[in-house]
């Protein structure tokens, strides 16, 4: 490792994590009442700690702390999501108590910082470039949607952490299986780890199943291309016949490997999911528990009822947002707002425009890299277009991003969905933008994503220096936007005119 990369590892990485921590932990107890859906998840977490399952509360007053933080009843509460996210919120409450936001928001903040670290590690595993890893971590640390969802005790920050962790483990499995393209593989410890992570994601919110399915499909496609590539390399007197037979064998063996992969991953993911219900299982009295009815029958009925509730939820909401608008963050969800004497305080996941909008442009470019190389391979009758390292990385990042967005687009059937669901896409947007910026700047060991997109850049020292300055300006602009928007991410009281400066789009108004 060069001295520059060594410094990046030991200086830049801790500095980025420290920046992420400051943005997510500073004044974490502001405001000192429950905001938005904290009203449900924090109170569920407190009563779940006491009973093993969530119980009801006497009113919907967001004031919390003191006696109000212990006013839960014995009757079971109606719950809309699995228990794991609320157990994690409960860990912070066990550490700091329920009397301030430090207790009920601390776990979410730690999960946010951990996600930045996991994203950096994923950038390194995919690209073997510390530049890509550090740029991706910095961009995610400055991402407005991710900052806000790390500062409120909703479930989506935990979901994002587990999805990023699952993607990291999948990347390790992706690389390890690439070294043995012709065999049926059973011993895959990284696949086991990925299944555990995605199972935990599903135990926070069911949408954690989307990336599990997406990455299993990607693993299968990559395995197919590698096997077809081996079939292409066959030599012999009747090469066409041998190739045809080997291609058929490749498809058949890919199907077998896909079955083996599913047989490994799905039971483990299910076990991870089921384990989150242990408190509900061992303590009778939770929602849907009936005397004389086995716990598994009651649990099955809860899933049936919950699925019906989610699929038919039609209550309109002033901050509902079509999934089509999520990539550009056109309608952020204001989670808290208060006005007094010309001052205004809000907590709203307004995007960092540099990170969010350039991230979409980068994902479009990476998508083009994959599509272009597949088309070129088809035209040249090459069987393995994904054998290009840059195409593999691009397809991986695009898959992660789309797994958090496309299922909502395809199944969108209710108005009560919100912009902040897109937080699960933010690590992949940061990775995609980091890959493009590093490649554009011709930084050492950053690959040729720009080149694989069919874009030719000058290699003269002057041109390279100019592009590196441009990338530095982009990162500086991202930092400047974070400074500008941070007061509205954390509920800091500001003058009304200052708040108005941030309302760039009509949908950004509180």
pTM of the model: 0.93
Reported confidence tier of residue 63, pLDDT bands at 50, 70, 90: confident
CA-CA-CA-CA torsion sign (193, 199, 200, 205) = positive
Cβ(26)–Cβ(490) below 8 Å: yes
Q: What's the rounded mean pLDDT across residues 482-494?
A: 94
For helices 13-25 and 101-127, angle between their N-to-C axes, nearest 10 degrees: 150
Distance in angstroms (rounded) separating the CA atoms of residues 435 and 199: 28
Q: Write down the pLDDT at residue 412.
A: 66
Q: What's the rounded mean pLDDT across residues 177-191?
A: 83
Question: How many angstroms separate the Cα of 276 from the Cα of each of 69, 83, 184?
Answer: 24, 6, 32
Q: Write down the pLDDT at residue 176.
A: 85
In angstroms, the first-to-last Cα distance of the chain is 49
Query: Is residue 146 scored above 90 in pLDDT?
Result: yes
Distance in angstroms (rounded) separating the CA atoms of residues 101 and 500: 27
Residue 13 lies in a domain: yes
Residue 298 lies in a domain: no
**Closest Cα to residue 360, out of 431, 449, 429, 436?**
429
- The two structure tokens encoding residue 273: 């999911």
Asked which of 1-10, 15-24, 225-234, 239-248 is least confident by mean pLDDT, the reply is: 239-248
Q: Write down the pLDDT at residue 341.
A: 84
Long-range contacts (CB closer than 8 Å, 24 or more residues apart) made by 52-56: 52/279, 52/280, 52/282, 52/283, 52/286, 53/79, 53/83, 53/279, 53/280, 53/283, 53/285, 53/286, 53/287, 54/79, 54/83, 54/86, 54/286, 54/287
Residue 307 lies in a domain: no
Residue 485 lies in a domain: yes
Q: What's the rounded mean pLDDT across residues 185-204?
A: 95
Q: What's the domain count of the chain?
A: 1
Three-point CA angle 77, 80, 83, nearest 5°: 80
Question: How many angstroms separate the Cα of 317 from the Cα of each of 43, 62, 154, 343, 435?
Answer: 22, 18, 17, 26, 37
User: Kind and range of the H or E element at 464?
Assistant: helix 461-490
Question: How many angstroms separate the Cα of 179 from the Cα of each of 122, 172, 182, 447, 462?
Answer: 19, 11, 9, 20, 39
Q: What is the pLDDT of residues 346-378, one digit of tens each?
A: 999 999 999 999 999 999 999 999 998 888 776
Residue 92 lies in a domain: yes
Residue 239 lies in a domain: yes
Q: What's the rounded mean pLDDT across residues 462-466?
A: 92
Reported confidence tier of residue 237, pLDDT bands at 50, 70, 90: very low
Burial 271-287 (b: 16+ CB within 10 A, else e): ebbeebbebbbeeeebb
Cβ(153)–Cβ(107) below 8 Å: yes
Residue 164 lies in a domain: yes
Q: Write down the pLDDT at residue 459.
A: 86
Asked which of 70-84, 252-266, 309-323, 351-365 is least confident by mean pLDDT, the reply is: 309-323
DSSP 455: -
Q: Write down the pLDDT at residue 396.
A: 96
**Residue with the two structure tokens 């277009």:** 385
Distance in angstroms (rounded) separating the CA atoms of residues 17 and 7: 15
- Where in the sequence is the domain holding 25, given as residue range(s)? 3-287+331-508
Q: What's the rounded mean pLDDT across residues 39-45?
A: 93
Q: What is the pLDDT of residues 286-338, one digit of tens each?
A: 888 888 889 999 899 889 988 887 777 666 777 888 899 999 999 999 999 99
Residue 498 lies in a domain: yes
Cβ(485)–Cβ(508) below 8 Å: no
336-340 sheet: strands from edge to edge:
336-340, 343-347, 494-495
Q: Mean pLDDT across the chain, nearest whole number?
A: 89
Residue 352 region, left (φ>0) first, then alpha (ψ -120 to 50), else beta? beta
Q: What is the pLDDT of residues 88-127, one digit of tens each?
A: 999 999 999 998 899 999 999 999 999 999 999 999 999 9
Instruction: Return phi, psi of residue 502, to 5°.
Output: -90, -5
**Residue with the two structure tokens 């030719």:** 456
Q: What is the pLDDT of residues 416-456, one digit of tens each?
A: 788 999 999 999 999 999 999 999 998 877 768 888 888 88
Residue 311 contacts by C-beta under 8 Å, 6 or more apart in sequence? 413, 414
């Amino acid at each position: 490792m060069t001295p520059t990369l060594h410094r990046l590892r030991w200086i830049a990485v801790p500095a980025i994590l420290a920046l992420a921590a400051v943005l997510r932990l500073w004044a974490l107890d502001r405001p000192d009442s429950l905001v938005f859906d904290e009203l449900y998840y924090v109170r569920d977490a407190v009563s779940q700690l006491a009973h093993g399952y969530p119980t009801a509360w006497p009113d919907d007053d967001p004031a919390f702390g003191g006696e109000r933080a212990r006013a839960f009843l014995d009757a079971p509460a109606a719950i809309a999501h699995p228990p794991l996210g609320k157990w994690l919120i409960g860990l912070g409450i066990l550490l700091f108590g329920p009397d301030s936001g430090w207790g009920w928001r601390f776990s979410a903040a730690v999960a946010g910082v951990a996600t930045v670290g996991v994203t950096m590690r994923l950038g390194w595993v995919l690209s073997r470039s510390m530049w890509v890893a550090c740029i991706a971590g910095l961009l995610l640390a400055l991402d407005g949607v991710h900052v806000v969802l790390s500062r409120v005790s909703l479930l989506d920050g935990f979901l994002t952490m587990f999805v990023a962790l699952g993607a990291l483990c999948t990347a390790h499995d992706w690389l390890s299986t690439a070294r043995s393209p012709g065999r049926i593989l059973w011993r895959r410890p990284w696949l086991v780890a990925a299944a555990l992570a995605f199972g935990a994601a599903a135990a926070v919110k069911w949408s954690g199943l989307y990336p599990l399915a997406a990455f299993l499909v990607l693993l299968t496609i990559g395995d197919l291309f590698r096997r077809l590539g081996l079939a292409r390399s066959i030599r012999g007197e009747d090469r066409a016949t041998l190739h045809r037979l080997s291609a058929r064998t490749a498809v058949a063996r890919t199907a077998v490997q896909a079955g083996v992969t599913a047989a490994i991953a799905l039971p483990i993911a299910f076990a991870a999911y089921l384990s989150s219900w242990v408190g509900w299982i061992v303590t009778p009295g939770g929602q849907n528990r009936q005397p004389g009815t086995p716990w598994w029958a009651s649990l099955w009925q809860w899933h049936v009822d919950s699925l019906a509730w989610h699929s038919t939820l039609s209550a309109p909401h002033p901050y509902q947002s079509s999934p089509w608008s999520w990539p550009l963050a056109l309608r952020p969800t204001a989670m808290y707002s208060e006005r007094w004497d010309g001052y205004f305080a809000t907590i709203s996941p307004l995007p960092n425009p540099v990170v969010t909008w350039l991230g979409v442009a980068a994902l479009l470019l990476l998508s083009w890299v994959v599509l272009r190389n597949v088309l070129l391979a088809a035209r040249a009758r090459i069987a393995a277009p994904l054998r290009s390292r840059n195409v593999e990385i691009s397809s991986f990042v695009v898959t992660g991003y789309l797994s958090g967005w496309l299922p909502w687009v395809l199944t969108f059937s209710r108005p009560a969905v919100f912009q902040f669901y897109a937080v699960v896409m933010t690590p992949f947007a940061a990775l995609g933008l980091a890959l493009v910026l590093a490649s554009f700047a011709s930084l050492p060991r950053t690959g040729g994503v720009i080149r694989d997109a069919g874009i030719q850049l000058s290699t003269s020292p002057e041109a390279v220096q100019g592009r590196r300055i441009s990338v530095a300006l982009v990162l500086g602009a991202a930092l400047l936007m974070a400074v500008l928007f941070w007061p509205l991410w954390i509920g800091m009281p500001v003058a009304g005119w200052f708040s108005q400066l941030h309302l760039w789009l009509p949908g950004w108004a509180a």
